[in-house]
């Protein structure tokens, strides 16, 4: 951390930074003045002082208001972060999870929603009955800006490019598993590449070209698979697999959760698949917030206490009665009766479509 030059900062009027941030957000002098409760002449005076202080025009006139200069754009995020941190310090209160109410907004993939959030809710029900969640789909292109705007408290997903005002913590490894219904799909495990290619697939992809990490890996081997069903929603995959001779490749945690809940079997994929780790991201202004710190720590504990392959008993995969194979088949994953959703009281959630 840089040493603080108290003499220089004492000459700075904090109101000027507030005015600068309002102008950056509104791009209009009158609207910016209204935003912070000033008249237009007072805002124009603040802008004149800012220009003198920083030695730059900062904003130029345009038909729709004002346009920031390159120097203003460079200053925008550091100023906003500094103001947010200062506001957090001035308004920060101790957080007692056992007695206080708090609402958090979290963005994550539907696979992580099904595999991570139930474990979080179980912990929150016993520790923080007043905590509620709003969950929204992961939007990688918008996620960081939503953190900056305060529209999100936490972004959970693969690593993304970040700015210095974003904090992150890696909390679970990536990886993929093949999932299938052992009552219909009769294979030896670990799954061979031959069986992997001979059985039709359910593909989960949001790419414009409809491909995914499996297609990328097969292309390097000059191979292709047959895709019988394609979807953008990983939560529908276990429903599509039940009773169908299909395979699906899911992120490891989603695969384990699906296998446990739907009586499916899993296998290591028969080819190497590139997988990103999963990280939490948040805005630096929330770093010292006791409630936000509880959210991050509880998410981390939920990730490390659930979803591991050795966290539940392994059982033999069921063999379809119409076919018999000479080799013994052992499931590399979780099978059994469906697990009902958590009925723990306390933490509740609202899911955005």
- pLDDT tens for each residue of 290-303: 999 999 999 999 98
Enclosing H/E stretch for 133: strand 131-137
Q: With the C-alpha atoms ordered 201, 207, 208, 211, is the resulting torsion angle positive or negative?
A: negative
Secondary structure class of 247 (helix, strand, coil): strand
Strands 59-62 and 65-68: antiparallel
Strands 348-351, 166-172: pairing is unpaired
Output DSSP code: residue 185.
Answer: -
| Helix (H), strand (E) at residue 51 | helix 40-54
CB-hemisphere CA count at 13 Å for 20?
Answer: 29
Helix (H) or strand (E) holding 216: helix 213-220
User: From the CA atom positions of the chain, what is the Rg in Å?
Assistant: 26
CA atoms within 13 A on the CB side of 280: 24
Task: Give residue-wise pLDDT tens across range 180-236.
Answer: 999 999 999 999 999 999 999 999 987 777 788 899 999 999 999 999 999 988 889
What gap in Å lies between CA 309 and CA 312, rounded to an integer?
7
- pTM (2 decimals)? 0.61
Give the count of beta carbons closer than 10 Å to the beta carbon of residue 155.
26
Rounded average pLDDT per 10-residue block, the chain, 353 residues: 69 87 92 92 92 91 92 88 74 82 92 87 94 89 84 87 81 84 94 96 84 91 95 91 96 88 94 84 87 94 67 38 39 36 45 52
Compute how many other C-beta atoms are within 10 angstroms of the C-beta atom of residue 233.
12
Query: Taking a C-beta distance cutoff of 8 angstroms, is the pair 232, 203 a contact?
Result: no
Measured from the Cβ of residue 210, the count of other Cβ atoms closer than 10 Å reads: 12
DSSP string, 286-328: GTT-HHHHHHHHHHHHHHHHSS-TTSS---PPPPPTT---SS-
């Amino acid at each position: 951390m840089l040493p603080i030059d108290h003499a220089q900062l004492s000459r700075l009027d904090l109101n000027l930074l507030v005015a600068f941030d309002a102008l950056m957000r509104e791009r209009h002098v009158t609207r910016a003045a209204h935003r912070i409760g000033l008249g237009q002449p007072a805002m124009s005076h603040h802008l004149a002082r800012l220009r003198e202080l920083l030695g730059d025009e900062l904003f130029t006139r345009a038909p729709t208001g004002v346009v920031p200069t390159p120097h203003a754009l460079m200053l925008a995020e550091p100023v906003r972060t500094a103001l947010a941190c200062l506001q957090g310090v001035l308004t920060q209160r101790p957080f007692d999870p056992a007695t206080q109410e708090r609402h958090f907004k979290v963005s994550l993939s539907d696979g992580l929603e099904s595999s991570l959030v139930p474990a979080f809710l179980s912990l929150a029900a016993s520790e923080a009955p007043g905590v509620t969640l709003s969950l929204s789909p992961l939007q990688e292109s918008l996620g960081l800006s939503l953190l900056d705007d305060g529209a999100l408290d936490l972004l959970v997903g693969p690593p993304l490019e970040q700015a210095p005002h974003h904090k992150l913590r890696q909390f679970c490894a990536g990886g993929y598993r093949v999932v299938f219904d052992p009552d219909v799909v009769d294979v030896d495990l670990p799954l061979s590449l031959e069986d992997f290619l001979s059985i039709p697939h359910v593909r989960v992809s949001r790419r414009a070209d409809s491909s995914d990490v499996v297609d990328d890996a097969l292309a390097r081997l000059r191979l292709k698979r047959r895709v019988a069903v394609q979807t953008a929603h990983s939560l529908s995959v276990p429903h599509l697999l039940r009773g169908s001779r299909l395979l699906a490749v899911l992120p490891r945690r989603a695969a384990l959760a699906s296998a446990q809940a739907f009586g499916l079997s899993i296998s290591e994929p028969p080819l190497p698949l590139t997988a990103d780790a999963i990280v939490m991201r948040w805005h630096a202004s929330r770093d010292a917030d006791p409630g936000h710190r509880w959210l991050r720590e509880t998410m981390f504990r939920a990730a490390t206490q659930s979803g591991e392959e050795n966290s539940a008993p392994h059982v033999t995969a069921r063999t379809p009665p119409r076919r018999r194979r000479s080799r013994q088949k052992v499931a590399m994953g979780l099978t059994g009766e469906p697990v009902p959703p958590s009925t723990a009281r306390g933490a509740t959630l609202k899911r955005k479509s």
